Amino acid sequence: MPVNARHVENSKITLTELMIPSYANFGGKIHGGILLSLMDKVAYACASKHSGNYCVTVNIDNVDFLNPVEVGDLVSLKASVNYVGKTSLVVGIRVTAENVKTGEVRHTNTSYFTMVAKDEANNPTIVPELVLEKKVEVRRFLEALKRRELKKEYEAGFSNLKKHTNPEKELSQLENERCQLALA
């Protein structure tokens, strides 16, 4: 094992925060931005702990809020390093909200933050290898590798879409959409 390899357990973090009224939107539910900010914080803590350096957020994979979060809920964010590259690493975060009165726990989302470690000069710097001790850690590492490949395919498709979308030739695709054409 390389000297600087680190175990997943070393950087696992759980952050629990009470959802107070000032976090709520006009509908009385918690702002998505509050949860994003907590997720970014926990991703930073976990990544920095693993790398031993300050880290920056580069990419967030899939933030789909599956259940609303209420004022008074206890939100817990469980984070662990799922994958390491050369200077980047992926932190998986599982977010749950607990109703303290009933004890009911809802899964609100699971997201993957890609973080890059920076040195004193603000350049990307090598992160320690990850020691995989459990089957679940191996699975998460493999899944992160696959997501990386899917992301490349998605980005290629997205850039193609931008290059080849031609409003003049594709107006017929809007026929059944809920928009009104009012071109001058």
Interface with ligand COA (CB under 6 A): 56-59, 85-88, 114, 116, 124
Nearest Cα to 113, choosing from 183, 13, 27, 5? 13
Tokens of 153: 């395919």
- Nearer to ligand COA by Cβ, of 131 and 145: the residue is 145
**Pairing status of strand 88-98 against strand 105-117:** antiparallel
Q: Residue 113 Cβ, how far from ligand COA at the closest point, in Å?
A: 10
Q: Which residue is nearest to ligand COA (CB)?
A: 85
The CA-based dihedral angle spanning residues 114, 140, 148, 117, taken in that order and rounded to the nearest 10 degrees: 30
Closer by beta carbon to ligand COA, 59 or else 160: 59
CB of 63 to ligand COA, least distance (A): 15
Nearer to ligand COA, 8 or 90 (CB): 90
Least distance from ligand COA to the Cβ atom of residue 91, Å: 12
Rounded Cα distance, 157 and 27, in Å: 37
Q: Which is nearer to ligand COA, 86 or 107 (CB)?
A: 86
Give per-residue burial for 125-164: e unless 16+ CB within 10 Å, then b: bebbebebeeeebeebbeebeebeeeeeeeeeeeeeeeee
In the bound complex, what is the minimum distance in angstroms from residue 122's beta carbon to ligand COA? 7
